[in-house]
A and B are shown apart, each in its own frame.
Chain A
Amino acid sequence: MSTIEITGLHKSFGKLEVLRGIDLRVEPGEVVCVIGPSGSGKSTLLRCVNLLEEPTSGSIRVAGVEVTDPDTDIDAVRRGIGMVFQQFNLFGHLTVRENVTIAQRRVLKRGRAEADRVAAENLSRVGLTDKAASYPAQLSGGQQQRVAIARALAMDPKLMLFDEPTSALDPELVGEVLAVMRGLAAEGMTMLVVTHEMAFAREVASRVVFMDAGAIVEQGPPAEVFGKPREARTREFLHRVLEPTHVSETEIGAHLTD
């Protein structure tokens, strides 16, 4: 059974059609990286998987459960899906330890001792054992994002969604977050990752999906998508992100006159 099975997914915000018929499967243990230009609907796709956005039409099955079915207990489905946001979204009024334990306690009804033990385990997994008593505001962006990952992992998810987890970070902090994600992938976690880190996608992804204008343009193993992209739009996008200093004026419609 596929971990995610999306068929014919459409999503509109009012008149704006953001997803125009997405079909996508993610198998257990796969790391699927979604790349594509800003505004192409990558976040919306991810947010439909755990129903942060309500699909307009189409079907989304997570571990066989149809999430769009009104009879589905969506809170139960979300428990099994970890999500990491671009802006971290740590709970500012709670310490790092409490951030990692609160959902264990309130949702999974774990006792304090067990929740603390699981928190310690996952904080050590992301290398932040010594920050358990700190508040999020006292941490660097990279540390905050690692706590966010630990918070999600503490719920024992079967699937992790990452929405540009390093895009809000200073360049020197990107590496520590990617290292944690690389470790997760190596442990066999099923991951759907929206990212602009092409090196990460090339190295870690089992499959790369290129999206543009609300549709999947092409997908395949990273060596194929990065090595010999079939579609012109993919080539153009990769050219822009891999060699940003070489984007010509004509490409963006700007002409320096003098």
Chain B
Amino acid sequence: MKLSRRRRQRIVRVAGYLVFVLVILVVVAAADWGRLSDAFFRGDVARSMFPEAITVALRNTIIYTLLAFVFGLTLGLVLALMRLSSILPYRWAATAYIELFRGLPALLVLFMVGYGIPLAFPDREIPGGVYGSVTIGLGLTAAAYMAETIRAGIQAVPKGQLEAARTLGMSHTRAMVSIVLPQAFRIVIPPLTNEIILLTKDTSLVYVLGVTPATIELTKFAGDTLNTRVNPTPLVVAGLLYLVITLPLSQVVRALERRAGRER
């Protein structure tokens, strides 16, 4: 029997949904709710995490995210311009970089920066200590993704914009800075905001660099508290604090995309 694509898709969708409901039902029926809430929702454990959860852990998570984002954005912009350059070696170098860093796990790159660079340059330190290492370690990977996003944004600006600017006597650089890039950035704000969300979550990898109580971020902070209190409530607290950052950002992305959709 040959089913139409449409029909087949619908059957797959319904089946998937039924499996989903079944799993939920099994979990709900099997779980011991009294013990679960004792384990994951212990008020005293949660309270003991504050205010450090916010003043140190959440704060560092945000700082790491922003540092890596700014570094990644700057490098990403340079790479995007190199990819669009008329000079062949620039294009090659940028393409090689992007392919390499998109293909490597962020954790591996972070390790390389945290341990590889000090080994390679023993008499130099990465400026800013852990903050510097995180900036570079997470930023290198983020730059590869952002470069592709920015390149697409630049290419989405109609060619006539650059021509009109050149016709008015602007140099290529001036036309890019004043006319093309501002419009390209407007186009890529939603995907770049997504990139911030991904980076926020990637800061949970920072523990591999060995953080101190002053440089600790949310995931490591929760893990440490879990170990000392022998209770998983900190995981819930950390999870909620991540959502405090990421949920508004997703809302921003959605609002921007809706607006972009309307303007078209």
A residues with CB within 8 A of B? 50, 52, 75-76, 78-79, 81-83, 85, 87, 89-93, 102-103, 106-108, 137, 148, 151-152, 155
Contacts and interface: CB of A to CB of B under 8 A. Distances in A.
A151 B168 contact: yes
A137 B169 CA distance: 24
Q: Which 4 A-B pairs have the closest CB atoms?
A: A79-B169, A103-B168, A89-B164, A89-B160
Contact of A107 (B160, B169, B183, B186): B169
Interface of B: 158, 160-161, 163-171, 174, 178-179, 182-183, 186, 263
Given A106-B174, A106-B178, A137-B263, A85 B164 contact: yes
A78 B166 contact: yes
B169 A155 contact: yes
Contacts of B174: 106-107
B161 to A, nearest CB: 6
18 contacts: A52-B166, A75-B166, A75-B171, A76-B169, A78-B168, A79-B169, A81-B167, A83-B167, A85-B160, A87-B158, A87-B160, A91-B161, A91-B164, A91-B183, A93-B182, A93-B183, A103-B169, A106-B178
A90 to B, nearest CB: 8
Contacts of A148: 164
Contacts of B170: 75, 103, 106-107
Contacts of A87: 158, 160
A50 B163 CA distance: 11
Which secondary structure dominates chain B's binding surface? helix
A200 to B, nearest CB: 22
Given A78-B166, A87-B158, 19 more contacts: A52-B167, A78-B169, A79-B168, A79-B169, A85-B163, A89-B164, A90-B164, A91-B161, A102-B168, A102-B178, A103-B165, A103-B168, A103-B169, A106-B174, A106-B178, A107-B168, A107-B169, A108-B169, A152-B167
A108 B167 CA distance: 13
A78 B160 CA distance: 16
Contacts of A92: 161, 183
A78 B167 CA distance: 6
Nearest to A75: B169
Most buried by B among A75, A81, A148, A152: A75
